[in-house]
C-alpha cells in the first residue's frame, strides 16, 4: 500500500506517451514460439543468405590493419560521398553534390528516422501504403507526426494509387512515404504509376520519401528512381543503402540523397545522435561501389531463379501469389485456408516447421497474406514448399 | 537459353528439368531437348560429384606434373599431349604459357603409384625434355567449394 498522498503520485508512466502509443509487435508470441523450435526452415528472414562478398570484407579488414579507427566527417567520408555521387550519376543520371546533398547513414533505418525528424512538425501527416515496412509508421509517430495509411490490394499489385493518395491529402499533409520495390510485397511501382504520384507532390508541395533499398534487386522490369522524374529531385528524399544488394545487412550503412536544405537538417540530428557511420564500414562501402557490380549481378541472377520457383510453387499448392518484381519476397494469399495470417503462420510453424511472417505484421491490409522470403537455398525452398503443400491440403476449406 | 541452362547445371547437376523450366521460363520439353542435344554434341561432357574423400578415410594422392616438351613439326604440342592424356591416370591435361608446356594432374592411391606413372610412363615418352612433380599437400578449395570451414549463414530466424 502506498503511503504517499494521491496528489504526489506520478501522473504518467516512466516512459514517454509517444513511445507508449507505438503498438508492440503483434507477433511477439510467434517469435517466441519460433525461438523455442529446432530444425525450422525459415522463409521469415529479411536479408540475403549470401555472406558479404569477400573483396568488400577484405577492404574493411585492411582498413582496420591500417588504423582506420576514428570518427569521420558527420556527412561521411568524402571519398565515399564522391563515389556515391558518381554511382547515382552513372545509374540514374542524377547529379548530387557530394559536399551538401548526400549523407551517409547507419542503414536506411537511421536515414528514415532522420528524414522524418527533419521534416515533420507536430501533427503533420505522412501518407504511406498499407501494408508497408514495419518502421515507416513508428518513425512518423516518433517524429510527432501522424501516419495516414492508404490501403493497397493484390488486385492492384499492391501499388499505391495516386487517386487514393490525393483523396487523403489535407492541409496537414507533409509528405508521401513509399518503398519501391516494396517490403513485404515485392511490388515495383512502374514509371507510369509514379508520374501521377509525383504530380500530386508537385501540386500540393509535398515531399516524397522514397525507400529504394531494394532497387538493385529487380527482375525483368525497369526500376524508376523517383528523383529522376521531372522536377522531383528537389522534393525527393532518396533513401538507400548497401544492405540488400551487396549482402551487407549487419554492417549497417546506407545513405540519404536530397536537397541541400533537407540534408543539412538531417545532418544536424545525425551529428547529435550518431556522429557518423563506423569508418571501417564506410571503407567497405567504397569498395562495394567501386567494384561490387559483378557480385550483385550474380546474386540477382540466383534470386531470380529462386523467385520463379517459389512463385510457381506457391500458386501450384493453392496459395495464389501475384508476381513480385523486386526485393526477395513473395506475398501469397492464404485466404483459401480460411485462417487469419497469424493463425496460418503459427499453425504452419507448429505442424510443419516452416516459418513465414504474417502479413498483418506490415499493416491491416496484410491480413490474408504471409511474407515468404526466397533468399534461401533452392533445396530449402523446395522442402518448404512441399511441407506447405501438405499443410494446405490438410486445411483447405 | 542453352547458356542459362548450362549455368544452372554447372552449379548443380541435380537440378531437375522441371526446376530449370521454371527458373528460365522455358517449357520443360524444350529444356529436355536442349539438354539432350548438349549431351549429344558433348557440350555437356559429364555430370559428376565433388567429394571430400578424407571424410570417409580414403587417402588420395594428387600431383601436378610440369612437363616440358619439344614441339613436333606439323602437330606442335598436340600429338604428345594426346599420348599423355590417353593415360587414365592423367586426370586433367592443359597446355600452358610460361616456363613449361603441359600441366598434368595425376591422381593415385599412393605416392608410389604416382611416382611409378611419372617415371615409367610419362618421363620416357619421346619428345619430353623433362618433368617436375609437385605432390599436393592439402586441398583447400575444389571447383569453387571450400572443403573445411565453409561459412555458415548466421541469420536470425525471423527478421522483418
Chain B CB contacts of A355 under 8 Å are 157-158
What is the DSSP annotation of A127-169? EEEES--TTHHHHHHHTT-EEEEEE--GGGTTPPPHHHHHTT-
Is the pLDDT at A111 greater than 60? The verdict is: yes
Which of B103, B99, B109 lies closest to B84 in space, CA to CA? B103
CATH-assigned architecture of domain B53-137: 2-Layer Sandwich (3.30)
Note whether residue A120 is domain-resident.
Answer: yes
Note whether residue A105 is domain-resident.
Answer: yes
β-pairing, A173-179 vs A146-151, is: unpaired
Chain A CB contacts of B155 under 8 Å are 42, 45, 47, 49
Q: Based on the domain organization, do A41 and A134 belong to the same domain?
A: no
Q: Based on the domain organization, do A358 and A252 belong to the same domain?
A: no
Q: Between chains, do B160 and A357 touch, taking CB under 8 Å as contact?
A: yes
Tell me if residue A209 falls in helix, strand or coil: strand
Which of B118, B115, B138 lies closest to B128 in space, CA to CA? B118
Structure confidence at residue A6 (pLDDT): 58
Q: Based on the domain organization, do A133 and A263 belong to the same domain?
A: yes
Whichever domain contains A270, its CATH number is: 3.40.640.10
Structure confidence at residue A275 (pLDDT): 97
Distance CA(B146)–CA(B135), nearest Å, equals 20
Q: Between chains, do B159 and A44 touch, taking CB under 8 Å as contact?
A: yes
Is the pLDDT at A397 greater than 90? The verdict is: no
Distance CA(A368)–CA(A355), nearest Å, equals 16
DSSP single-letter state for residue B53: G
Instruction: For residue A353, give its domain range.
Output: 24-52+295-395
Q: Based on the domain organization, do A285 and A301 belong to the same domain?
A: no
Sorted by where each begins, the domain ranges of chain B are 2-40, 53-137
Structure confidence at residue A232 (pLDDT): 97
Last residue of a domain, one of A291, A324, A351: A291
Q: What is the distance in angstroms between the Cα of A73 and the nearest Cα belonging to chain B?
A: 31
Q: Based on the domain organization, do A41 and A62 belong to the same domain?
A: no
Dig out the grid coordinates for B80 from the structure.
604428345
Note whether residue A352 is domain-resident.
Answer: yes
Structure confidence at residue A26 (pLDDT): 58
Distance CA(A308)–CA(A1), nearest Å, equals 64
pLDDT tens column, A228-277: 999 999 999 999 999 999 999 999 999 999 999 999 999 999 999 999 99
Chain B CB contacts of A133 under 8 Å are 160
Distance CA(B71)–CA(B127), nearest Å, equals 7
Structure confidence at residue A180 (pLDDT): 97
Distance CA(A239)–CA(A241), nearest Å, equals 7
Structure confidence at residue A10 (pLDDT): 59
Per-residue pLDDT band for A12 (boundaries 50, 70, 90) equals low
Note whether residue A15 is domain-resident.
Answer: no
Q: Based on the domain organization, do A306 and A197 belong to the same domain?
A: no
Structure confidence at residue B1 (pLDDT): 87
Burial class of residue A189, CB neighbours in 10 A (0-12, 13-18, 19+): buried
pLDDT tens column, A290-325: 999 999 999 999 999 999 999 999 999 999 999 999
Name the closest residue on chain B to residue A132, using Cα atoms. Answer: B160
Q: Based on the domain organization, do A188 and A328 belong to the same domain?
A: no
Q: Based on the domain organization, do A129 and A218 belong to the same domain?
A: yes
Structure confidence at residue B159 (pLDDT): 78
CB contact burial A331-343 (16+ within 10 A = b; e otherwise): bbbbbbbebbbbe
Mean pLDDT on A62-82:
97
HSE of B91, CA atoms in CB hemisphere, 13 A: 11
Q: Between chains, do B157 and A34 touch, taking CB under 8 Å as contact?
A: yes
Q: Based on the domain organization, do A70 and A181 belong to the same domain?
A: yes
Q: Chain-wide mean pLDDT for chain B? A: 92
Mean pLDDT on A105-130:
98
Q: Chain-wide mean pLDDT for chain A? A: 94
H-state helical runs in chain A: 17-20, 28-35, 54-65, 78-92, 107-119, 136-142, 162-166, 191-203, 260-273, 279-291, 293-316, 341-352, 378-395
Whichever domain contains A366, its CATH number is: 3.90.1150.10
Q: Between chains, do A308 and B25 touch, taking CB under 8 Å as contact?
A: yes
Q: Based on the domain organization, do A264 and A319 belong to the same domain?
A: no
Longest CA–CA separation in chain A, Å: 70
Tell me if residue A121 falls in helix, strand or coil: coil
Mean pLDDT on A134-146:
96
Question: In 10 A of CB A72, how many CB atoms?
Answer: 19
Q: Which residue has the higher pLDDT, A14 or A196?
A: A196
Burial class of residue B126, CB neighbours in 10 A (0-12, 13-18, 19+): exposed
Residue whose entry in the numeric block shows the C-alpha cell 493484390 = A154
CA distances from A386 to A17, A213, A382, B14, B125 (A): 46, 31, 6, 18, 58
pLDDT tens column, B50-77: 999 989 999 899 999 999 998 888 878 9
* % of chain A with per-residue pLDDT over 90: 89
Q: So what's the ipTM on this one?
A: 0.78
State CA A42 to chain mean position distance. 19
pLDDT tens column, A28-45: 777 788 888 888 999 998
Dig out the grid coordinates for B94 from the structure.
592443359
Structure confidence at residue B132 (pLDDT): 96
Mean pLDDT on B3-8:
95
Chain A CB contacts of B12 under 8 Å are 378
Count structural domains, chain A: 2
Mean pLDDT on B104-116:
94
Chain A CB contacts of B160 under 8 Å are 46, 133-134, 357, 361-362
Note whether residue A220 is domain-resident.
Answer: yes
Last residue of a domain, one of A291, A318, A353: A291
Structure confidence at residue B76 (pLDDT): 85
Is the pLDDT at A3 greater than 80? The verdict is: no
pLDDT tens column, A331-388: 999 999 999 999 999 999 999 999 999 999 999 999 999 999 999 999 999 999 999 9
Q: What is the distance in angstroms between the Cα of A357 and the nearest Cα belonging to chain B?
A: 8
Q: Based on the domain organization, do A312 and A285 belong to the same domain?
A: no
Amino acid at each position: 500500500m502506498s503511503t504517499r498522498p494521491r496528489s504526489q503520485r506520478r501522473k504518467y508512466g516512466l516512459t514517454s506517451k509517444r513511445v507508449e502509443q507505438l503498438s508492440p509487435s503483434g507477433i511477439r508470441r510467434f517469435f517466441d514460439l519460433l525461438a523455442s523450435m529446432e530444425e525450422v526452415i525459415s522463409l521469415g528472414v529479411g536479408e540475403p543468405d549470401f555472406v558479404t562478398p569477400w573483396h568488400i570484407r577484405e577492404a574493411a579488414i585492411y582498413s582496420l590493419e591500417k588504423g582506420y579507427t576514428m570518427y569521420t566527417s558527420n556527412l561521411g567520408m568524402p571519398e565515399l560521398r564522391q563515389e556515391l555521387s558518381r554511382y547515382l550519376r552513372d545509374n540514374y543520371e542524377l547529379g548530387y553534390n557530394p559536399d551538401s546533398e548526400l549523407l551517409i547513414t547507419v542503414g536506411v533505418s537511421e536515414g528514415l528516422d532522420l528524414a522524418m525528424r527533419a521534416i515533420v512538425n507536430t501533427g503533420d501527416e505522412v501518407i504511406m501504403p498499407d501494408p508497408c515496412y514495419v518502421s515507416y509508421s513508428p518513425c512518423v509517430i516518433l517524429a510527432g507526426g501522424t501516419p495516414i495509411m492508404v490501403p493497397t490490394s493484390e488486385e492492384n499489385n499492391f501499388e499505391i494509387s495516386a487517386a487514393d493518395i490525393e483523396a487523403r491529402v489535407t492541409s496537414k499533409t507533409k509528405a508521401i512515404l513509399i518503398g519501391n520495390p516494396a517490403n513485404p510485397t515485392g511490388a515495383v511501382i512502374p514509371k507510369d504509376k509514379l508520374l501521377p504520384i509525383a504530380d500530386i507532390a508537385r501540386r500540393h508541395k509535398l515531399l516524397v520519401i522514397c525507400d529504394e533499398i531494394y532497387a538493385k534487386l529487380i527482375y525483368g522490369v525497369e526500376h524508376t528512381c523517383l528523383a529522376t522524374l521531372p522536377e522531383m529531385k528537389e522534393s525527393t528524399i532518396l533513401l538507400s543503402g548497401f544492405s540488400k544488394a551487396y549482402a551487407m545487412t549487419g554492417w549497417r550503412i546506407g545513405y540519404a540523397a536530397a536537397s541541400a536544405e533537407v540534408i543539412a537538417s538531417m545532418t544536424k540530428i545525425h551529428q547529435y545522435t550518431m556522429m557518423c557511420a563506423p569508418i571501417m564500414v564506410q571503407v567497405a562501402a567504397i569498395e562495394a561501389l567501386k567494384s561490387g557490380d559483378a557480385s550483385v549481378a550474380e546474386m540477382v541472377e540466383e534470386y531470380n531463379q529462386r523467385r520463379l520457383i517459389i512463385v510457381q510453387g506457391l500458386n501450384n499448392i493453392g496459395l495464389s501469389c501475384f508476381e513480385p518484381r523486386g526485393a526477395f519476397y513473395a506475398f501469397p494469399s492464404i485466404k483459401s485456408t480460411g485462417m487469419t495470417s497469424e493463425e496460418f503462420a503459427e499453425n504452419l510453424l507448429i505442424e510443419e516447421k516452416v516459418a513465414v511472417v504474417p502479413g498483418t505484421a506490415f499493416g491491416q491490409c496484410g491480413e490474408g497474406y504471409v511474407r515468404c522470403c526466397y533468399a534461401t537455398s533452392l533445396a530449402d525452398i523446395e522442402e518448404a514448399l512441399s511441407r506447405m503443400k501438405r499443410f494446405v491440403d490438410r486445411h483447405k476449406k | 537459353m542453352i547458356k542459362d541452362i548450362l549455368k544452372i547445371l554447372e552449379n548443380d547437376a541435380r537440378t531437375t528439368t522441371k526446376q530449370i523450366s521454371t527458373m528460365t521460363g522455358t517449357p520443360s520439353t524444350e529444356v529436355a531437348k536442349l539438354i539432350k542435344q548438349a549431351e549429344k554434341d558433348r557440350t555437356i561432357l559429364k555430370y559428376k560429384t565433388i567429394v571430400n574423400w578424407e571424410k570417409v578415410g580414403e587417402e588420395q594422392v594428387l600431383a601436378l606434373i610440369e612437363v616440358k616438351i619439344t614441339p613436333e613439326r606439323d602437330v606442335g604440342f598436340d600429338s604428345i599431349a594426346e599420348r599423355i592424356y590417353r593415360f587414365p591416370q592423367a586426370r586433367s591435361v592443359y597446355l600452358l604459357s610460361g616456363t613449361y608446356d603441359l600441366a598434368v594432374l595425376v591422381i593415385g592411391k599412393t605416392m608410389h603409384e604416382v611416382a611409378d606413372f611419372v617415371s615409367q610412363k610419362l618421363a620416357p615418352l619421346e619428345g619430353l625434355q623433362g618433368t617436375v612433380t609437385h605432390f599436393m599437400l592439402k586441398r583447400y578449395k575444389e571447383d569453387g567449394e571450400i572443403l573445411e570451414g565453409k561459412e555458415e549463414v548466421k541469420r536470425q530466424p525471423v527478421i522483418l
